[in-house]
Every structure is written in C-alpha cells, then in structure tokens.
C-alpha cells in the first residue's frame, strides 16, 4: 500500500513554512488545536504550564503573543525569569511544536492599546474581577460582581478592565518540530537567534 508523504516530510525549508502556516491557522481558526497552546515558564525549582489563547504571530519579528491579567502568577514569574516556551500539538496533523524564547510583558503601552481595542465585550470579563486571579477565596466564585458576572455591562463600563490587561509576547529563539508518522518520525530544529535561520535535523 502506498502511503503519501507530505511535501515537508524530508524538507527543512518546507517544514519551516508549514510551521508558520500552522501558527497562522491557529490564530485564525478557533477550532484549530494550535489556537490554544500551553505557555510554560518557571523560576528556580518551580515550573508550570497553562493553556492560553494565541492572539498574534509575527514571522518577520519572530514573536508570538497572548493576552493575560497583569496580576496573574505567570506575570510574576516572567518578571523574575523571562525564558519561556509554548507547546503546541495538532493530533490530526501529528505535529508537535516547542517554541522557546523570552517573554516580554506589555502593560499600558501601544501594544496593549491596540490589542485592547480589538477585545470583544465577552472576553473583557476576564479582566473585570476585583481580586487577582489565583487569590484564595472562602466561597466558590467567578471573582466577578453580579453585573459583570451576568454580562450586564456596557462596553464603556468594561473599559476599567484595561487596568488589568497585558499582552505577553514571546520572542522566539528556537522552534523544535516533531512529526509522528508510521513511515518514520521526523524531528527538526530551527535556531532563530541568528540573522540567518539555522535549520537542522534531529533524531526523533
């Protein structure tokens, strides 16, 4: 039986293109598994990962970003230690991406202004709680007052959420690709830390 091999199977340049293609699709398509990567960072001996929503990619500037609450734990960690990674997996394509780099917190700057303007009514709810995410609470709660919890706020009233809003960019230093295939796995590594992108194969 003939099993078709994708164009990128044995071609590092094609893999690199496919990588950005998958990220582009993850950004545009809410149903894509690449829409919700795991952002991983840590400090000293504690490391943690959490799902985030991919909000932007810039191939030229070699960066990708997501939105968050400035009061969240991950922000504290980034302030202490900026190296971070993003982990993606698309089960149907059998492709895993591990993106490593440095995280940068944008807060009340041009980047956050631009992103905040694009946020919709419902997604602003995430930034409207009085207490910091992860704070202890004596009762089960969303952390929102009834007006915000029931979405009974106007877009103008949601403007105060901007106080808690930040954009976390990851400046990419490397991308590792793993393609699982019955006909033989393929693993590739891209070093983006130099002017010319270094592309090489690894043993899967």
Ligand X SMILES: Cc1cc2nc3c(=O)[nH]c(=O)nc-3n(C[C@H](O)[C@H](O)[C@H](O)COP(=O)(O)O)c2cc1C
Binding site residues, ligand X, CB under 6 A? 36, 48, 50-53, 66-68, 72-74, 133-134
Instruction: Give the nearer residue to ligand X in terms of CB position, either 74 or 124.
Output: 74
Nearer to ligand X, 18 or 74 (CB): 74
DSSP letters for 18-78: HHHHHHHHHHH-TTSGGGSPEEEEEETTEEEEEE----EEETTTTEEEEEEETTSHHHHHH
Residue pair 129/163 in contact by the 8 Å Cβ criterion? no
Q: Are 45 and 15 in contact (CB under 8 A)?
A: no
CB of 41 to ligand X, least distance (A): 8
Nearer to ligand X, 19 or 68 (CB): 68
Nearer to ligand X, 68 or 115 (CB): 68
| Shortest separation between residue 38's beta carbon and ligand X, angstroms | 8
Least distance from ligand X to the Cβ atom of residue 117, Å: 17
Closest approach of ligand X to the CB of residue 55, in Å: 7
Contacts of 175 (CB under 8 A, 6+ apart): 19, 97, 98, 99, 100, 189, 190, 192
CB distance 192 to 175 below 8 Å: yes
């Amino acid at each position: 039986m003939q099993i078709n091999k994708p164009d990128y199977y044995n071609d590092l340049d094609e893999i690199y293109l496919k990588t950005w293609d998958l990220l582009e699709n993850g950004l545009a398509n809410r149903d894509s598994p690449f829409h919700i990567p795991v952002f991983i960072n840590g400090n000293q001996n504690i490391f943690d990962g959490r799902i985030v929503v991919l909000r932007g990619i810039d191939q030229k500037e070699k960066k990708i970003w997501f939105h968050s609450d400035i009061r969240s734990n991950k922000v504290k960690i980034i302030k202490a230690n900026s190296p971070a990674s993003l982990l993606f997996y698309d089960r149907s394509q059998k492709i895993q991406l591990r993106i490593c780099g440095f995280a940068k917190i944008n807060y009340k700057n041009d980047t956050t202004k631009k992103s905040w303007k694009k946020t919709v009514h419902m997604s602003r709810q995430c930034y409207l709680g009085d207490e910091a995410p992860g704070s202890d609470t004596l009762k089960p709660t969303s952390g929102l007052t009834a007006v915000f919890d029931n979405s009974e706020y106007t877009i103008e009233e949601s403007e105060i959420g901007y106080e808690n809003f930040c954009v976390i960019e990851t400046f990419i230093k490397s991308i590792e690709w793993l393609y699982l295939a019955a006909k033989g796995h393929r693993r590739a590594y891209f070093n983006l830390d130099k002017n010319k992108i270094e592309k090489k194969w690894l043993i899967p």
